[in-house]
Amino acid sequence: MKRILLAVLFLGGILLANDLLTSRQLVVVTTAGWNDNSGVLQRYEKDGTRWHKVGKAIRVRLGRNGLGWGIGLHTIPKGAHYIKKEGDGRSPAGIFVLKQAFGYAPFKAYYPYKVYKETDHCVDDVHSKYYNKIVDSTKIVPDYNSKEHMKFPKNYYKYGVVVNHNHIDEKGAVPGAGSCIFLHIKAVPTAGCTVMKESEIKELIRWLDAKRQPLLVQGTKAEVEKMVKGYFSISI
């Protein structure tokens, strides 16, 4: 059993390293400190062996209380003081796969894109078997008391991108570790998402290319510099 466990851990490490080493698009978000709720987003792209900046840096807003280490491709440092939890008002720090883009209506993009309805919910109830999953509530028997509508009168989710924090829409989501994390539209700090202007998120979605395996790298400037070292030869 011990040998099997070690083999699984070894394979998991290989897969994780592969995700990091094969990515050719990065969305990098940095803040000055852990409790800052505003930051800077810069896109990077790899051509051949070299990384270069794409477009201008933009100002973004994050969780109202700043950042906390999330669950993604990274390893959380020992003794980390800020750990992302459900309802803490912090955006997840770390390295994350970017999953599908989404919106209220079809949008021309070279990236997987999902049109959501009012009846599509992202579940943030820690007691639900659907925790941290986006579900069509008309096709299941809801067991949750708390959720986010993926389409509603405000334009916040008119365009967005799903961040694979805490295994969203996958097996393995840890109850209470944070759910329903997106890049989307908003002008003020959030409950845990990273937000920008409508024109900026639309430009980001148009730029994303699934073949380039885009990742989000998010954290304080000091921690992001540590995370990219050894994987991505970029200057933050």
pLDDT in tens, 140-175: 999 999 999 999 999 999 999 999 999 999 999 999
Stretch 58-68: mean pLDDT: 98
In a domain, 49, yes or no: yes
pLDDT in tens, 37-47: 999 999 999 99
User: Where is pLDDT greater, at 187 or 9?
Assistant: 187
In a domain, 44, yes or no: yes
In a domain, 141, yes or no: yes
Please give the pLDDT value at position 11. Answer: 32
In a domain, 102, yes or no: yes
State the residue range of the domain holding 115. Answer: 2-228
In a domain, 233, yes or no: no
Joined tokens for residue 44: 């990077």
The pairing of strands 25-31 and 215-220 is parallel
How far apart are alpha carbons 116 and 136 in whole angstroms? 9
State the pTM of this model. 0.92
How far apart are alpha carbons 219 and 92 in whole angstroms? 8
Please give the pLDDT value at position 236. Answer: 83
In a domain, 112, yes or no: yes
> For the chain, how many structural domains are there in total?
1
In a domain, 99, yes or no: yes
Question: Residues near 90 by Cβ (< 8 Å), separated by ≥ 6?
Answer: 62, 63, 65, 66, 67, 68, 82, 84, 192
In a domain, 234, yes or no: no
Please give the pLDDT value at position 17. Answer: 52
